[in-house]
A and B are shown apart, each in its own frame.
Chain A
């Protein structure tokens, strides 16, 4: 049974031998006060450990399965998501385990200390990554002075001061069925539900998903759709620039979703396919954040490298065989990714194959505009540095999480 108030979305994934369930709770690091920074992510750990009993699905007393499927979780700036992939026979039990998230949370001092230690280790691990540090720097600059600026991992001193009572109170305030939704993806699933409390709609139409017009987060940032509510505080105008370790430079900007356009996600993938440059995207309440990170000696060299990559991708799209190239190098890999039932649950949709050709001209225009907007050291919040070096286009590898997506 699903708790009253919880919206349930069912996605049919034809032929799937597995089912994926994703519970998205509308709480993230942007909901934290300065004294609570890191609370949402800490709660993610504690909910799996305490409320969900470790997040194991199947194999419990009376359970029919062999057991062993595990709930995975990730915290973002606006959402916390819990996902589990199971065999179809275990869907009902998986649903029961996930909705334990809404039960009152009892946390002992010892358990709180153990998870704080785990979070501390996680921080050490992530901070050893140049990509992680650079992404944090970009977001801190882009959202300076807003609740979106601080890292999801939070503030160590704030975390250390938290008490079990404060954690439980935050949980009670934020973990409510009416502030969450559940997506179940699979084939031929029968979701147990209380009819008066559950919205079991058909699969969300992906529309022109195949033609790359959908909104898909690049990377592993947590995004569960833009909630209706207050708008986001204004980002830094004109974009920002940051550097890390003396050899990596990043550029970021944010714009309203309507301004970013329906082709933004496809454009990210096209640039990567054409040049290897990873253009990241994160949806935040009515805005789309866009950022890139390259190895370069300074901001100007990075600017040249990013501009060249964008223009190369634009030209590739505008070539005579641009449409065929787009279909084979961008559309097919994306469709393959969506053959994963967990991706269907994350996107709330399974792609219907569209025969409409992707609009290469629109993609090319958008990418061309990035070349002017993403990397302009003169107007960006640029670090000090010399100019005149040659930029080397190279992705930052090993990023284990985007700035607003922390897998717990």
Chain B
């Protein structure tokens, strides 16, 4: 059973009963939403998450708790996750108390903590394989935080100073957090909500942001976007975006990369389920793209097709890596496949197969307590009850093949725009 507390302060606490997720490790995740925050704070958020993690770890150790602490940095939120062995499951309930002081603007960790946190945040950003979606997201979301690219993020993380970090921490601390726990009862959830509300009430006011362009120290100036404060206005692009053919000539075995992007839906959108199936029909080892591109002619050596849903919008993309001389054929076949999906469409058996793959993938993602609590936070920040995570298989099962075709025709139709 899941309990949920929403305090007048805006603090949300969601908790699973300890018996509902009998994992060896229990978790609690505490995050603050990035919606409405300045671009500089959004850019600094992963580094702030690392700083929080370091400080929370010290606080937990002082309290005698044996927990693992990790930063959490996503496009919609930033925070920390703590985990403990099940035998000491109550240890993670200390998170709201360890976190609150660290969120104050004056609580920058001492010593070389900032240097170490910066290095960790940079390594994570540089390793992030999502970087090749940068151009797609930039085209779809423009100045919205979903359009922030890795290059901009890395440049900011390298250059931001103490003042920038304090300002970002202050701005983040003012937002009501969301706390999700994999093992806690209703009373504990209520106590945590009260503790977090009290902490918010006592925080000092946030220092003013330095104008609309927050990256002045970098020489990078990004116009403030209305989307930062006004929500999901990401519908300016009607159809898929196709980037490419783009190839890299790296020696004798030159390689090509093919990228197709499309507008998607927000996490709470009812059409998400049909669209998930449409993308699953395309992608994966048994997907239609794999059959047409790799299985029949070994045209690509790396192929991915998937969608991503966030609180305020979403996108989907197809990525293919192939020989440079195969790019033209790959382009044709991808377009043919998209046309097929949006017109003739998949058979009922293909839809059933895609549903099963998605359900198994979702169940795998929430096998760990940490996977569950971080997903709970994402749902709550998107305005959806975390309990809906458990409904996902059932809601997916309800989708018919005709709905998949309809979703594909609206989001992956023929009005293709080519860039690059």
Chain A contacts for B363, CB-based, 8 A:
17-18, 87
- Complex Cα distance, B66 from A331, in Å, reads 10
With A54-B286, A59-B353 already in contact, the answer to whether A18 and B298 are too (CB < 8 A) is no
- Complex Cα distance, B365 from A85, in Å, reads 12
Pairwise interchain contact B298-A87, C-beta atoms closer than 8 A: no
With A68-B286, A68-B356, A332-B68 already in contact, the answer to whether A114 and B298 are too (CB < 8 A) is yes
Interface residue A321 (Cβ < 8 Å from any Cβ of B): yes
Pairwise interchain contact B68-A328, C-beta atoms closer than 8 A: yes
In chain A, positions 373-396 with a C-beta closer than 8 Å to chain B are: none
Size class of the contact patch on chain B: 35 or more
Which residue of B has the minimal Cβ distance to A341?
A: B367
Interface residue B301 (Cβ < 8 Å from any Cβ of A): yes
**Residues of B bordering A, CB below 8 Å:** 21-25, 57, 61, 66-69, 83-87, 123, 127, 250, 253, 255, 284-286, 294-298, 300-302, 321, 349, 352-357, 359-360, 363-364, 367-370, 397
Q: Interface code A320-346, partner B: CB below 8 Å = 1, 0 otherwise?
A: 010010011101110110111110000
A159: min CB distance to chain B, Å? 14
Q: List 20 A-B contacts (CB under 8 A).
A: A16-B367, A58-B356, A59-B349, A68-B286, A68-B354, A70-B284, A70-B285, A86-B360, A87-B359, A120-B298, A121-B300, A121-B301, A332-B68, A333-B83, A335-B25, A336-B25, A339-B25, A339-B369, A351-B24, A353-B85
A11: min CB distance to chain B, Å? 14
Which of the residues A16, A18, A85, A335 comes within 8 Å of B85, measured between beta carbons?
Answer: A335
Chain B contacts for A169, CB-based, 8 A:
none
Chain B contacts for A54, CB-based, 8 A:
286
Closest 9 CB pairs of A and B: A68-B356, A15-B22, A68-B353, A121-B301, A117-B298, A66-B356, A332-B68, A66-B352, A125-B301
Which residue of A has the minimal Cβ distance to B299?
A: A121
Pairwise interchain contact A124-B357, C-beta atoms closer than 8 A: no
Which of the residues A15, A16, A18 comes within 8 Å of B360, measured between beta carbons?
Answer: A18
Pairwise interchain contact B349-A333, C-beta atoms closer than 8 A: no
Chain A contacts for B57, CB-based, 8 A:
328
Q: How many residues of A contact B (CB 8 A)?
A: 48
A129: min CB distance to chain B, Å? 12
Chain A contacts for B301, CB-based, 8 A:
121-122, 124-125
In chain A, positions 49-103 with a C-beta closer than 8 Å to chain B are: 54, 56, 58-59, 65-70, 85-87
- Complex Cα distance, B86 from A331, in Å, reads 12
Pairwise interchain contact A67-B352, C-beta atoms closer than 8 A: yes
Which of the residues B22, B297, B360, B397 comes within 8 Å of A85, measured between beta carbons?
Answer: B360
Pairwise interchain contact A69-B68, C-beta atoms closer than 8 A: no
Which residue of A has the minimal Cβ distance to B251?
A: A128
Chain B contacts for A335, CB-based, 8 A:
24-25, 85
Pairwise interchain contact A121-B360, C-beta atoms closer than 8 A: no
- Complex Cα distance, B73 from A146, in Å, reads 47
- Complex Cα distance, B363 from A87, in Å, reads 9
Interface residue A35 (Cβ < 8 Å from any Cβ of B): no
Chain B contacts for A340, CB-based, 8 A:
364, 367-368
Chain B contacts for A210, CB-based, 8 A:
85
Pairwise interchain contact A59-B352, C-beta atoms closer than 8 A: yes
Which of the residues A65, A118, A339, A351 comes within 8 Å of B367, measured between beta carbons?
Answer: A339
Q: Interface code A102-131, partner B: CB below 8 Å = 1, 0 otherwise?
A: 000000000000100110111011001000
Which residue of A has the minimal Cβ distance to B355?
A: A66
